[in-house]
Amino acid sequence: MAKAIMAAPRDAYGKTLVELGKENRDIVVLDADLSKSTRTIFFAREFPERFFDCGIAEQNMIGIASGLAASGKTAFTSSFAVFTPGRCFDQIRISAALPHLNIKVVATHGGISVGEDGASHQAIEDFALACAIPGMRVIVPTDAVETAQVIREAANIGGPFYIRLPRSSVPLIHSDSYHFELGKSAPLREGKDITIIAAGVMVSAALQAAAELEKDGVDCRVLSMPTLKPIDEGAIIKAARETGAIVTAEEHSKFGGLGSIVSQAVTKNSPVPMSMIAINDIFAESGKPAQLLQKYGLTAVDIKREVISTISRK
């Protein structure tokens, strides 16, 4: 098997912001003293007059962005996922979402793969927080290719977005011919025995698990679900009816994320055996990203084990 090509989604984010800035003078970017980490520094260097470093003050950042958006600008705001929406939930809810302003909250360093920074910097609740806000579109790109397209899509569609990116480089899943569509899943592998629905960094683990299960005679369908809200309910129902079992995989708490959203569609429309690969009701510790993913059950091995268990309940 060829070695996977790795790329950082946050790099794609920063570069795409620069492209958008050249195309549209109404694009503005705000950061909370983390521009080197979030990669908004690319935009700051190119367009210093349209970049605003708000300091370690995410609440104020959203307030300033709201004013800019109310004045006709398209405002991209960035910090770590644990800080936005975590630190500024009320401001996002009231100042950005309630008036349906053109604010794009792009958070990097999502999940426990942040690594050594530990629980204080590991966002495992952000999907739940963002999805609960009325009118908020919530997207978790799979790789750098999809990230670039998601950022462009968000810039072209009015209203608030929450977009979560990882800290690390991840395998490239999509080719340049791929086309992201808001609210649609991406079928990556056909299968008839069970469907794995994965988001973000867990997509590559899902594909690895499916490839290993094929050797054991298990035919897995794999769906990448970059848009958590609005969810691709049609693809979920189709998968449930055609494969008869579903396993979800996400780098997030098992409460309020991908698994919860998928289960709502499944139980309402086509109840089938279902399991979730997610973080249990626990804060993670400090460690290397790979070690943490293994310790907290977010690997291809864990997905494979859960697939076999779920199929046994069909």
Residue 157, both tokens: 């569609």
For the cut 80, the answer to whether the pLDDT of residue 220 exceeds it is yes
Taking the C-alpha atoms of residue 222 and residue 232, their distance in angstroms, rounded to an integer, is 14
Query: Per-residue pLDDT averaged across 155-179, rounded?
Result: 97
pLDDT in tens, 286-308: 999 999 999 999 999 999 999 99
Measured in degrees and rounded to the nearest 5, phi and psi for residue 193 equal -90, -35
**Res 182: pLDDT:** 98
Query: Per-residue pLDDT averaged across 12-17, rounded?
Result: 98
Residue 153, both tokens: 């899509």
Amino acid code (one letter) for 108: T
DSSP state, residue 3: P
For the cut 60, the answer to whether the pLDDT of residue 1 exceeds it is no
Q: How far apart are the first and last CA of the chain?
A: 32
pLDDT in tens, 112-149: 999 999 999 999 999 999 999 999 999 999 999 999 99
Taking the C-alpha atoms of residue 146 and residue 141, their distance in angstroms, rounded to an integer, is 6
In sequence order, which ranges of 47-114 are alpha helices (DSSP H)? 58-70, 89-91
Q: For residue 275, what are the CA distances in angstroms to 31, 75, 127?
A: 37, 38, 18
For the chain, list the domains and their CATH numbers.
Answer: 8-171 (3.40.50.970), 186-311 (3.40.50.920)
**Res 3: pLDDT:** 76
Taking the C-alpha atoms of residue 105 and residue 221, their distance in angstroms, rounded to an integer, is 32
pLDDT in tens, 37-83: 999 999 999 999 999 999 999 999 999 999 999 999 999 999 999 99
**Residue pair 233/270 in contact by the 8 Å Cβ criterion:** no
CA angle 6, 147, 126 (to 5 degrees): 105
Q: How confident is the prediction for the chain on average, in pLDDT?
A: 97
pLDDT in tens, 265-277: 999 999 999 999 9
Burial zone of 255 (CB within 10 Å; 0-12 exposed, 13-18 middle, 19+ buried): middle
Of the residues 23, 46, 49, 58, which is catalytic?
Answer: 58
Q: State the CB neighbour count (10 A cutoff) for residue 254.
A: 17
The percentage of residues in the chain with a pLDDT greater than 90, rounded to a whole number, is 98
Q: DSSP states of 21-59 as a string? A: HHH-TTEEEEESS-HHHHSTHHHHHH-GGGEEE--S-HH
Please report which confidence band the pLDDT of residue 2 belongs to, taking 50, 70 and 90 as the band edges: low
Please report which confidence band the pLDDT of residue 223 belongs to, taking 50, 70 and 90 as the band edges: very high
58 is catalytic: yes
**Res 91: pLDDT:** 98
